[in-house]
Amino acid sequence: MDVRNTPELDTAIRILTLREHSVYELQNKLIQRNVAPEKIEHILAHLIELNYLSDERFAEAYTAERIRKGEGPLKIRANLLQRRIDRSLAERMIARDELFWLEKAQGVLKRRLRSIRDDPEIFSSEWSKCLRFLEGRGFPSHIARQAMADI
């Protein structure tokens, strides 16, 4: 089926101009716009062939953005898998040494504790909250504990 110069292809390209999307995300957006399923398959294949759509490029952009926002490797991996990114690609995106993730956790923690850092009494009472906060951000518990110890 030739999908070149179709309104459905134009819609898909407009969606991709806003940001990178995974194949799964774009497929869902086209379904929401009532594009026929058999056309979606051909549109996705055409966009992949043109290199307009790439799960790897999406995963790189998504990971960089989430790291910038202070998310840890566990949360980033879970979100990539939720977007149907291949497990090995997701693992490759978060494969950094522990020191990298420790530094990121410390940065997140410092921003969080900026107002209470100078009051040791309040700081100690916030210890468990901070651990839960970092774990909620997707940092492994051993990295969260190390970050807390180093602050």
**Is residue 112 in a domain?**
yes
**pLDDT tens-digit series, residues 15-35:** 999 999 999 999 999 999 999
143 and 102 co-located in one domain: yes
Residue span of the structural domain in which 28 resides = 7-53
User: Which among 55, 45, 53 has a CA at the least distance from the CA of 87?
Assistant: 55
As for how many domains the chain has, the answer is 3
25 and 43 co-located in one domain: yes
CATH number assigned to the domain comprising residue 17: 1.10.10.10
**pLDDT tens-digit series, residues 88-125:** 999 999 998 889 999 999 999 888 877 655 566 666 67
Alpha carbon of residue 11 to chain centroid: 24
Q: Which SS3 state, helix, strand or coil, does residue 21 take? A: coil
142 and 104 co-located in one domain: yes
**Is residue 77 in a domain?**
yes
**Is residue 1 in a domain?**
no
Residue carrying structure tokens 């970092």: 134
62 and 73 co-located in one domain: yes
